[in-house]
Amino acid sequence: MDKILRIDMGADGGPKITETPLGDYAGLGGRAMTTTVVSREVPPLCHPLSAENKLVIAPGLLSGTIAAMSGRLSVGCKSPLTGGIKESNSGGQAAQVLARLGYAAIILEGKPKTDDIYKILIDKNGVKIVIDNSLKMLPNYDLVTKIRSEFGDKIACMSIGPAGEMMMNIASIACTDMELRPTRHAGRGGVGAVMGSKRVKAIVLDDSGMPMRTPKDPVKFKAANKVFTEGLLKHPVTGQALPAYGTNVLTNILNEAGGYPTNNFKEGRFAGAAKISGEAQAELEVKRGGLATHGCHRGCVIRCSGIYNDKDGHFLSKQPEYETVWSHGGHCGIDDLDSIAMLDFLDDNYGVDTIEMGVTIGVAMDAGLAKFGDAEAAINLVKEVGKGSPLGRILGSGAGVTGRVYGVERVPVVKNQAMPAYDPRAVKGIGVTYATSTMGADHTAGYCIATNILKVGGFVDPLKPEGQIELSRNLQIATAAIDSTGMCLFIAFAILDQPETFQALLDLLNSFYGLSLTGDSVVELGKKVLSTERDFNTRAGFTAMHDRLPRYFSTEPVAPHNVTFGVKDEDLDKVFAW
C-alpha cells in the first residue's frame, strides 16, 4: 500500500485518474487515513453533496496480509446526515483486495456535469472508468449479478443501490462478501449518497495475480498472528458466543438487562425478544439449511455472521445482525424473524443503513403511519424508500427529518444520527458515547456494553453515572486506533481481557512495518484521530451543545429500572479533556 488513487469525477473531458505516493499520508490506514484526508482536504462548511466533498476509501494498516480479522474497510467524507466528519466501517472482501492492489486509499473528488453513471475497474493493470447507464437505479443484488457476468467471480465489488443514486441521507455503500453478495455495508452517515453525488455506481476490484502483502519480519509476523488468533479463539465472547449465535446473542442479554429499546425507546424490555434472539435465529438457520456461523471476509476467525434462508430453504439474507434485528424488531414491536430478514434484505438491496432505516420506521409508527408490530406495513415503508416516492424520500432522509415532518416529539438521534440498540438510560456508558462521539449516535465509537453489561475489561455499573465518562473516553480512544489497523472491532473483547493478545496485535504491526509501537503509541494514535475529527466538527459549526442526548432521556424514566440518563452536561464536556 504505497500509493493513493485520486479520481476527479468533475474534470474537463471526463474523469481524471492520478496516482500519487503517500507523501504526508504515509503511515496511515483505515480511519486514521480517511479522517486525516477529509480534515485536510474537505472544506468543513461545504455541502456534503457538492463537488467540494470527497469520498475516501481506505483499507487498514494490516489489510491484505495473512493477519486474522484484518479485512475491515473505512469510508470517510463529510456526512450528509450529520453535517460532520464521518468514518463508516465495513466488512466484506473489498479492504483485503484493495490493499493487495497496493492502494492505501481511493479518493473520489469533484462532481460530473452530466447525469451519466460510471463504473470503475481496478486491477493489476491499472484503473479503467466507464460510463454504463444500464446500471441506473439497479438494486445492489441485481447490480452485482450483472457485474459478475462481466468480470467473473474473482472480484470484490463496492456499490450503491437506488438510495445512493437518489442521494438519500441514509444511503449505504455495499461491499461484497466471500460469496459475492452485497451484504456488508458501510452504512452510517449517508456515505452512499456522497458516492451517488460523484455518479459512481460501482467500484470493481480484481486482485488476480497480486501477492499477499509481505511483512518486514515474516517469522515474527507469523508467530504474532498465531498468538493473536489463539487469544481470539479462547475468549468466551469471540471464541464461543459470537461464533455460536452471531451478534444477535445480545438480544436476550440486553433484554434481561432492561436496556433493549422497545416501541421507539418507550420501554427497556420487549415481550417478544426470545422469538427473535440469537439462539432462536441460529436454530432456525440450521433447520432451514443455512449457516449459523460464517465469516464476512477471508481471514475471519470469529465468524459471527451467517446465512438466513426462507421457509423453502432459499437464500433470503445474510444473518441479520443484532442491531438490524433490534431496529426492525423490538424497536418496531415486530417479533417475526422472517419479516426482519426480509427487511434486512430490502435494506441491503436498496442500499440503506439498517439502523437508521429501522429507527426511522419506529418514529414513523409513533407518528401513526403504521402500528407497532405491523411487519407488513414496515416492509411497505422500506419499499417506498426503494421507489423514491414522496413518502420514501422523507423516510430516506432519516429518523430526525421524519420526526420533524410528522411532529414526533421523541426522536432518538444525536447529531441527527439514529441511536442503535441500547437504551442510554439503562446503559449509561453507551449514552456517553452516543452523546459525545464525533460520528453522531454510534455504539461502535466506544462500545461501553463490553464493560457495562458483558463485564469485559472490568465492570462499571450501567445504572450509575460514576465511571462512565472515563469508560467511554478510553474506549473511544481504543476504537479510533483499532479502526485504523483494518482489524474487526470485535478483537477488542480479547485484547481488553488478555494482555498477551494485545501484545500480539502490537507485534503484528511492529513486525510488518519494522516499528516499535507500545501500548502508549496506540493511545496516542487514537487521541490524534479523535482530536482531528473534533477539530473538523468544530470548524463545521459543532459546539458542546451538540454533545448531548435528546432532552427526554434526562426527564423521562424507562422501565423496568425506571431510571433517566443522569450524566451531567458538565461531565460530558470532560470526555475529550485529556
Residues in the chain: 578
User: Locate cell 456517553: which residue?
Assistant: 432
Give the distance between the most distant pair of CA atoms in the chain: 63
Asked if residues 394 and 170 have their Cβ atoms less than 8 Å apart, the reply is: no
Query: What's the rounded Cα separation, in Å, for the pair 303 and 96?
Result: 16
SS3 105: strand
Collapsing DSSP to helix, strand or coil, 20 comes out as strand
Residue ranges of the chain whose pLDDT lies below 70:
none
Position 1 scores a pLDDT of 80
Helices (H), 42-112: 94-100
Any idea what the Cα angle at residue 187 is, between residues 149 and 275, rounded to 5°? 95
- What is the pLDDT, as a whole number, of residue 295? 87
Question: pLDDT for 226-277, tens place per residue?
Answer: 999 999 999 999 999 999 999 999 999 999 999 999 999 999 999 999 999 9
- Determine the residue type at 298: R
**Phi first, then psi: what are they for 548, rounded to 5°?**
-140, 150
Amino acid in position 532: T
Instruction: Specify the residue for cell string 479502526.
Output: 483
At 219, is the secondary structure helix, strand, or coil? helix
* Beta strand spans in 444-566 (E): none
Domains by residue range for the chain, with CATH: 3-205 (3.60.9.10), 248-422 (1.10.569.10)
Cell readout for 336 is 417475526
